[in-house]
Chain A
């Protein structure tokens, strides 16, 4: 009897065999362990993403939703409210609008590489990817620097789930609550003394002449911190892992850094850190011979759609020349990741600097510790040996 358990540590480490079984044998699967349906084929996921009226986000989008988030963030609101909220932030996050970050990100990456001078190995997650993303977010939101480590630690904890109890544990909820009060503190400061940063603009924004609700601002800022810090560094870490595991690809990028953006897209397809999100049905839906009821949740397994042989030939091959148009690494449709340009920019510059300094690196541990999470997939630690 096939079981699909997104809480199992073995699944955190390697979800891809289970995904293949789902796609081939159970394309619309009721997972007892998750208490929801699972879509695993590319076409089904895309259909769901395109049809937000049926596949609603308003009941939460995390597989294990955090208390109070549903209905109060971009990712957990449906159009038209969603579109109005998103428009307030989106313009500050287009590729053109982010040009001013290129040099700061480069300087940050170089600084953290300088700190590694003389080391024979280093933890890519602790000493590189998370450092860069925290610095970047603190710069972008103009946050007080002394909170860096604590914000990062809480962001990592709040995305996790407990493999034993198959839900968020007290430590995860506590981290989330810490982050919401951190956000509330920031908001109060910005209200009293607005700057021209992205957060200030959002906090003082109005829709149809009305200020945003306090909870909406607080939950959205909390989510921006979580995604900006943990989702971005999670992806940078899997990208680093891919280049450690595929030396030919790494050498090609070191020789020709102009190919880094293509490799980023392939890693987003091959193993995005954003593996699974959920939607809630607003009506009954028939799919692959199953009837799903209004009110049921459906997990959209982006990580599986990205390995769907019906869409991507030889999907288990990591090929930086693939140019995987339409991959689900950032989700898709109205709720596609808000930070796509920021993520691409940060990865490109960081890896330009990394590969210039260390064209060769290798994994130290054959088995990696993975973040326990029903949503996300990235290594907790990635020790790399450098020449």
Chain B
């Protein structure tokens, strides 16, 4: 199963393995990684699963959709060049080992 490391805002590292096809938002909410909320249930309808993707993995992701772009403008913590919504990133072998950093606030 692909591995994902969430780095919480306080620096705590939270490695999680999740089934291929599950989103990084789901990997966090189902494993008690509290810095991700996922209020809309994964429909790209809020911006409470905001993460900063480690630069080494950024190019391996599909670019954000128009809707994700719009929602990224609504993040509670500042949007950076590596900001993404974790509900839009599906675990798969191509991004095994991906590291994402969590923002200070989600809402």
| Residues of chain A at the chain B interface (Cβ within 8 Å) | 43, 46-47, 49-51, 83, 86-87, 90-91, 93-96, 311, 325-326, 330-338, 340-341
Contacts and interface: CB of A to CB of B under 8 A. Distances in A.
A46 B45 contact: no
B41 A95 contact: no
A90 B67 contact: yes
Contacts of A332: 26, 41-42
Contact of B42 (A43, A94, A336): A336
Given A83-B67, A95-B107, A341 B42 contact: no
Given A50-B22, A333-B42, 15 more contacts: A50-B26, A51-B21, A87-B70, A90-B45, A93-B45, A94-B71, A95-B107, A325-B38, A330-B41, A331-B41, A332-B41, A336-B41, A336-B42, A340-B39, A340-B46
Contacts of A325: 29-30, 32, 38
A340 B41 contact: yes
A271 B70 CA distance: 33
A43 B42 CA distance: 15
Contacts of B66: 87
Given A47-B19, A86-B67, A326-B38, A335 B74 contact: no
Contact of B39 (A43, A311, A341): A341
12 contacts: A47-B19, A50-B26, A86-B67, A91-B70, A93-B45, A95-B107, A332-B41, A336-B45, A338-B43, A340-B39, A340-B41, A340-B46
Interface size class of B (residues with CB under 8 A): 20 to 34
Given A90-B67, A91-B70, A94-B74, A326 B43 contact: no
A46 B22 CA distance: 8
A334 B66 CA distance: 15
A364 B22 CA distance: 44
Contacts of B40: 330, 336, 340-341
Contacts, number: 77
B3 to A, nearest CB: 18
Given A331-B41, A333-B41, A333-B42, A326 B29 contact: yes
The CB with the most chain B CB atoms within 10 A, among A83, A326, A340, A341, is that of A326
B12 interface: no
Interface of B: 19, 21-23, 26, 29-30, 32, 38-46, 65-67, 70-71, 74, 90, 107
Nearest to A90: B45
Contacts of A95: 39, 46, 107
A340 B22 contact: no
A62 to B, nearest CB: 18
A34 to B, nearest CB: 24
Nearest to B22: A50
B67 A311 contact: no
Nearest to B107: A95
A337 B43 CA distance: 8
B93 to A, nearest CB: 16
A332 B39 CA distance: 10
Contacts of A87: 66-67, 70
